[in-house]
């Protein structure tokens, strides 16, 4: 009864509420401050319009406090009484400036803003609503909901951006480019939502200031400390604890942020219960509980009104350790399998920037940073099969090659590797407002990467006889005493596969120097037309052990035009059209493992030519609609065909890959609403790649194993839709709902009624005469572009309650959430699975590999002062 009474009380609050209008103005000039931020009594944030006004819902049965903030001004507070509807907050410039020229600073162009045809940005409010959910709270939860971003499923923070390879998305934190911004090998990003102020995804024709990608650039801005008051925030959620501590000092401040998971006690508790609950026995295979630990420190210091220093430090680590054994003792199969795996990953960096205004129409910015990544992996996997009898059908087809009626088979895989990367980067940027509405900008950047990889990888490959080299084919024909001119023997060879051990021992130590420079002009007069014309040049040099590779300079011109067609007509506030075209370049990370033995004679960056046409409409009531159509031609794309021989690997890096990409993105959004807000994002994408030097093989890196044909990449989906809906019946409650629809990924079309047996020759490299046959099963198939998995239908629900004390200084938030709710009744389906050693088919369809088959509950609590 207490719970029901409490809920009735909360939902009755609107009966004691009213709308008030607050105007924020300059205290001396009495000018409205457009864009001023109002933090309401319930913790929500609102932005003032062009008249410096904002309308907020307030309780009328008690006095509350709101805060107003604007860059360069002191924070203002207003105690809103129980009567009245119109109020004014006057802000004064922070600090005292005597005999000095007033300089109003703006953010650097192109950062943290949504611009049609260029980028889309999300702020702290959107990130808190959509990213603070799930097993691991992650900013990528928000990014994956934006138009142009492909559905990636669960435990995957690397989506495809407008048809690009997932690994091509570049990321930067406070201007520092991070080559591997992920935990757990890409399962989650390093961007904790509680350390992030805003994020911007640039996936169109963005400014020549930025590069190092041909698909998308994610720029993340960390939270900054308060220079006026001490602030503290503590958060606890399903799997991690977070804290933020902001300390002010004269002309600056410092902010400490940290996160650590606490799976350790949960795993130990589960192990203790496993004796009583048999379903928990699998937890005993976890030797080292999965963990993420990270810390971020940001700070700033203003030496004077025109000179400021900002710095960011990050360090994090993640890991896991597993040992697992499994046995099967059925009439069809007697086997034993095991896995022993350890993963540890470290990364850290520090970056700083110095911004100087030599005069009021110029900005000079110096940036520098250095960091490292250290990944250590050690794993073993084994499989043993005992006395497996050959089937009658197999004996009939291949009996004359058999020496016994049964076989025993052992296979093991081992990896022990250490990859280390050291990075240093610096850049200088100069902006000059040459005249009213015309800005000239230029800059240079130098990046240095030292990468080393050492270790051993041993595995096992199943190769079609037809894919072997001619010399290997002849040796096997002689070994098996077969005659290719005999139809029966030819049929055997057509079905024959070769099982051979693979050995790969990386031993690379490479130094990559990347030099970039740009110059651009931006024209904007406040009238209908604005334009940006820029030129960026990237150059790459790779110094390895015994070889040197150098690319041709990648020349990347870019042009953007924006035109306002209509403004303030009835309910339509503005109608803008944008068009852009430009070229982009990035180096494929696989060049880091290049070695002299691969005989790589050239190096080219991946290139793309992208064109975008967009229309944006803004309506009354904070509605906006944006639609963009794009076309992208990709060329000089790196791919690595891997030919598998009987005793070695034939690795052949190529730099002539192509791609054709086109699509449409649209977004309908409503923001700054008292009772509801959200957005609808839809994307259509068509992407195909071609590898002119590709081969048909079971292995390839970034492609290379599909021959010379055009093909859809494995991550491609035609349609992606996300509906984000926030309902706020009272200021203290928010109900967040996300519904998604993603069309399926391509899969092979199977032929026939079921799996068929085929011979696999287990080849003994040291003594070929001891090679022997085993029986495997496969389901014949053909490639079919129209055959795809069924659609994915993710549904997430999050219920949040907010609160604060009377003066608004102490705030809290409690949420409970469930991801993938529809998994109770539906999961995307792929081809049925079957046992390759027995041919036994599992009943029903199989869930697609990227899906989580069960709903995922989560919770969180946040306290701030």
pLDDT of residue 645: 77
Q: Which residue has the tokens 């002191």?
A: 74
Give the pLDDT confidence of 426-465 residue by residue, as tens digits.
Answer: 999 999 988 888 999 999 999 999 999 999 988 888 888 8
Burial status of residue 703 (CB atoms within 10 A of its CB: 0-12, 13-18, 19 or more): buried
**What does the alpha-carbon distance between residue 832 and residue 700 come to, in Å, rounded to a whole number?**
25
SS3 label, residue 531: strand
Residue 270 has, within 13 A of its CA and on its CB side, a CA count of 15
pTM for this predicted structure: 0.86
Contacts 24+ apart (CB under 8 A), 830-835: 830/747, 830/789, 830/790, 831/747, 831/748, 831/750, 831/779, 834/754, 834/755, 834/777, 834/779, 835/332, 835/333, 835/777
**What does the alpha-carbon distance between residue 244 and residue 262 come to, in Å, rounded to a whole number?**
18
**Contact partners, residue 491, CB within 8 Å, separation at least 6:** none
**What does the alpha-carbon distance between residue 712 and residue 693 come to, in Å, rounded to a whole number?**
17
Beta strands in 250-306 (DSSP E): 252-261, 286-304
pLDDT of residue 97: 37
Cβ–Cβ < 8 Å for 394, 776 = no
Contacts 24+ apart (CB under 8 A), 462-465: 462/497, 462/498, 462/499, 462/698, 462/760, 462/776, 463/497, 463/498, 463/499, 463/500, 463/644, 463/698, 464/496, 464/497, 464/498, 464/698, 465/493, 465/494, 465/496, 465/497, 465/498
**Contact partners, residue 468, CB within 8 Å, separation at least 6:** 476, 498, 645, 646
pLDDT of residue 276: 82
**What does the alpha-carbon distance between residue 168 and residue 587 come to, in Å, rounded to a whole number?**
9
Let me know the angle formed at the C-alpha of 674 by 564 and 149, rounded to the nearest 5 degrees.
55
Cβ–Cβ < 8 Å for 496, 452 = no
Helical residues (DSSP H) of 38-123, grouped into ranges: none
Q: Which residue has the tokens 């609503």?
A: 129
Q: Encoding tokens for residue 311?
A: 């710095």
SS3 label, residue 789: coil
pLDDT of residue 44: 66
533-547 burial by CB neighbour count: b if 16+ within 10 A, else e?
bbbbbbbbebebeeb
Contacts 24+ apart (CB under 8 A), 9-16: 10/730, 10/732, 10/733, 11/729, 11/730, 13/59, 13/730, 13/731, 13/732, 14/729, 14/730, 16/59, 16/60, 16/61
Cβ–Cβ < 8 Å for 654, 642 = no
Cβ–Cβ < 8 Å for 666, 627 = yes
Closest by Cα among 374, 477, 344 to 761: 477
Q: Which residues in the chain land under pLDDT 70?
A: 1-18, 28-30, 41-44, 59-64, 71-72, 82-83, 93-112, 279, 526, 672, 844-851
SS3 label, residue 283: helix
Cβ–Cβ < 8 Å for 679, 669 = yes
* 28 backbone φψ class: left, alpha, beta (φ>0; ψ -120 to 50): alpha
Give the pLDDT confidence of 627-663 residue by residue, as tens digits.
Answer: 999 999 999 999 998 888 777 778 889 999 999 999 9
**What does the alpha-carbon distance between residue 218 and residue 176 come to, in Å, rounded to a whole number?**
11
Cβ–Cβ < 8 Å for 788, 45 = no
Helical residues (DSSP H) of 607-667, grouped into ranges: none
Q: How many residues does the chain have?
A: 865
Decide the pairing of beta strands 17-26 and 53-59.
Answer: antiparallel
Q: Encoding tokens for residue 234?
A: 């503590």
**What does the alpha-carbon distance between residue 593 and residue 506 come to, in Å, rounded to a whole number?**
8
């Amino acid at each position: 009864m207490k719970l029901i009474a409490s809920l009735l009380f909360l939902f009755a609050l609107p009966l004691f509420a009213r709308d008030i209008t607050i105007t924020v103005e300059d205290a001396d000039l009495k000018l409205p401050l457009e864009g001023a931020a109002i933090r309401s009594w319930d913790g929500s944030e609102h932005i003032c319009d062009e008249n410096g006004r904002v309308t907020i819902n307030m309780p009328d049965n008690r006095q509350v406090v709101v805060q107003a903030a604007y860059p360069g001004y002191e924070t203002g507070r207003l105690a809103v009484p129980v009567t009245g509807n119109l109020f004014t907050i006057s802000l004064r410039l922070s600090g005292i400036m005597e005999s000095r020229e007033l300089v109003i600073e703006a953010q650097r162009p192109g950062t943290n803003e949504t611009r049609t045809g260029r980028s889309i940005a999300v702020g702290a409010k959107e990130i808190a609503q959509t990213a603070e959910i799930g097993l691991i709270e992650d900013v990528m939860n928000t990014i994956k909901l934006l138009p142009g971003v492909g559905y990636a499923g669960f435990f995957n923070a690397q989506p495809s951006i407008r048809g690009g390879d997932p690994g091509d998305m570049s990321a930067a934190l406070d201007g520092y480019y991070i080559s591997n911004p992920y935990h757990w090998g890409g399962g989650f990003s390093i961007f904790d939502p509680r350390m992030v102020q805003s994020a911007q995804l640039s996936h169109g024709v963005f400014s020549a200031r930025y590069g190092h990608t041909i698909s998308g650039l994610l720029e993340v801005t960390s939270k900054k400390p308060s220079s006026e008051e001490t602030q503290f925030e503590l958060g606890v959620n399903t799997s991690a604890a977070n804290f933020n501590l902001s300390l002010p000092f004269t002309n600056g401040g410092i902010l400490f942020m940290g996160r650590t998971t606490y799976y350790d006690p949960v795993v130990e508790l589960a192990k203790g219960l496993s004796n009583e609950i048999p379903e928990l026995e699998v937890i005993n295979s976890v030797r080292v509980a999965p963990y993420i630990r990270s810390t971020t420190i940001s700070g700033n210091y203003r030496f004077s009104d025109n000179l400021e220093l900002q710095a960011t430090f990050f360090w994090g680590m993640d890991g896991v350790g597993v040992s697992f054994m499994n046995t099967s003792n059925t009439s069809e199969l007697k086997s034993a399998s095991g896995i022993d795996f350890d993963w540890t990953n470290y990364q850290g960096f520090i970056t700083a920037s110095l911004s100087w205004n030599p005069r009021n129409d110029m900005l000079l910015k110096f940036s520098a940073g250095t960091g490292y990544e250290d990944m250590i992996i050690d794993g073993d996997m084994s499989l043993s099969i005992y006395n497996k009898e050959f089937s009658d059908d197999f004996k009939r087809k291949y009996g004359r090659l058999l020496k016994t009626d049964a076989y025993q088979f052992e296979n093991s895989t081992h990896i022990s590797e250490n990859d280390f990367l050291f990075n240093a980067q610096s850049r200088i940027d100069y902006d000059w407002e040459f005249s009213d509405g015309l800005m000239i900008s230029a800059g240079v950047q130098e990046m240095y990467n030292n990468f080393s990889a050492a270790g051993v990888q041993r595995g096992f490959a199943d190769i079609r006889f037809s894919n072997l080299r001619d010399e290997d084919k002849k040796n096997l024909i002689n070994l098996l005493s077969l005659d290719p001119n005999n139809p029966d023997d030819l049929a055997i060879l057509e079905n024959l596969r070769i099982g051979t051990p693979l050995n790969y021992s990386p031993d690379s130590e490479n130094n990559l120097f990347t030099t970039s420079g740009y110059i651009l002009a931006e024209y904007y007069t406040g009238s209908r037309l604005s334009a940006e014309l820029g030129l960026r040049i990237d150059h790459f040099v790779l110094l390895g052990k015994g070889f040197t590779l150098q690319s041709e300079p990648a020349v990347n011109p870019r042009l953007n035009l924006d035109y306002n067609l209509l403004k303030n007509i009835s309910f339509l506030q503005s109608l803008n059209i944008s068009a852009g075209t430009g070229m982009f370049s990035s180096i494929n990370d696989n060049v880091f493992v290049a070695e002299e033995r691969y005989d790589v004679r050239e190096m080219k960056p991946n290139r793309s030519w992208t064109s975008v046409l967009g229309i944006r409409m803004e309506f009354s009531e904070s509605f906006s609609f944006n639609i963009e159509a794009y076309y992208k031609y990709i060329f000089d794309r790196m791919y690595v065909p891997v030919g598998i021989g009987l005793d070695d690997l034939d690795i052949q890096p190529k730099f002539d890959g192509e791609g054709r990409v086109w699509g449409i993105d649209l977004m309908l959004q409503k923001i700054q609403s008292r009772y509801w807000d959200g957005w609808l994002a839809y994307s259509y994408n068509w992407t195909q790649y071609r590898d002119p030097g590709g081969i048909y093989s079971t292995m390839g890196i970034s492609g290379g194993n599909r021959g010379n044909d055009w093909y859809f990449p494995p991550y491609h989906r035609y349609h992606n839709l996300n509906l984000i809906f926030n309902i706020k019946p009272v200021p203290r409650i928010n109900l967040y709902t996300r519904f998604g629809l993603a069309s399926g990924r391509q899969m092979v079309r199977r032929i026939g009624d079921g799996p068929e047996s085929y011979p696999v020759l287990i080849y003994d490299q040291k003594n070929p005469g001891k090679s022997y046959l085993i029986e495997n099963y496969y389901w014949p198939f053909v490639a079919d572009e129209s055959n795809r998995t069924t659609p994915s239908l993710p549904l997430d629900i999050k219920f949040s309650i907010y609160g604060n004390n009377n003066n608004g200084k102490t705030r809290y938030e409690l949420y409970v959430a469930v991801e993938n709710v529809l998994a109770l009744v539906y999961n995307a389906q792929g081809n049925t699975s079957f046992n390759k050693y027995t041919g036994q088919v599992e009943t029903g369809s199989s869930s697609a590999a990227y899906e989580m088959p069960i709903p995922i509950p989560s919770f969180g609590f946040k306290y701030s002062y």
